[in-house]
């Protein structure tokens, strides 16, 4: 198994700005304007019957990751963003290991930022795809 480095600064940013992410145990692997990556460990308390990581957990992971990506792409002088639209496609169940989210900006405008986030399992297989629109505050 590959040893993964945790981005401590990024993880602190997530946990301070979105305390819910700390409660879920989300760890940040990388954060930059071009890409934000985070992950959550499979845990039985986060699952539906049958040991499948709950879709709401995956959506929370993607939303938080996309929100930080949008924040890092704010136009000069702007203070923050808020999610105004989010669309999720679930493609594969995650029953073990980690769900890893990778968010990239598709459009960074003055009023809206559109981010696409892929969620993958430990084998690198696509488990979900989220497109979200963040309003610039």
User: pLDDT by residue (tens digit) across 4-30?
Assistant: 899 999 999 999 999 999 999 999 999
pTM attached to this predicted model: 0.95
Output the domain CATH number for residue 108: 3.10.129.10
pLDDT at 88: 98
pLDDT at 99: 98
| Overall number of domains in the chain | 1
Residue 64 included in any domain? yes
Query: Per-residue confidence at 2, pLDDT binned at 50, 70, 90?
Result: low
Q: Which domain holds residue 76?
A: 8-136
Q: Could you tell me which residues come within 8 angstroms of residue 58 by beta carbon, excluding any fewer than 6 positions away?
A: 88, 90, 94, 99, 119, 127, 128
Could you give the dihedral angle defined by the CA atoms of residues 41, 17, 105 and 62, in that order, rounded to the nearest 10 degrees? 30
pLDDT at 18: 95
């Amino acid at each position: 198994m590959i040893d993964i480095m945790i981005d401590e600064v990024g993880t602190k940013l997530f946990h301070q700005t979105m305390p819910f992410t700390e409660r879920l145990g989300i760890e940040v692997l990388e954060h930059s304007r071009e890409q934000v990556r985070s992950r959550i460990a499979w845990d039985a308390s986060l699952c539906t019957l049958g040991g499948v990581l709950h879709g709401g957990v995956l959506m929370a992971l993607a939303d938080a990751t996309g929100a930080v990506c949008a924040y890092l792409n704010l136009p000069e002088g702007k203070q923050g963003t808020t999610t105004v639209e989010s669309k999720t496609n679930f493609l594969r169940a995650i029953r073990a290991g980690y769900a890893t989210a990778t968010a990239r900006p598709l459009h960074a405008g003055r009023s809206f930022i559109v981010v696409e986030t892929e969620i993958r399992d430990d084998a690198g297989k696509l488990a979900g795809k989220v497109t979200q629109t963040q309003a610039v505050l």
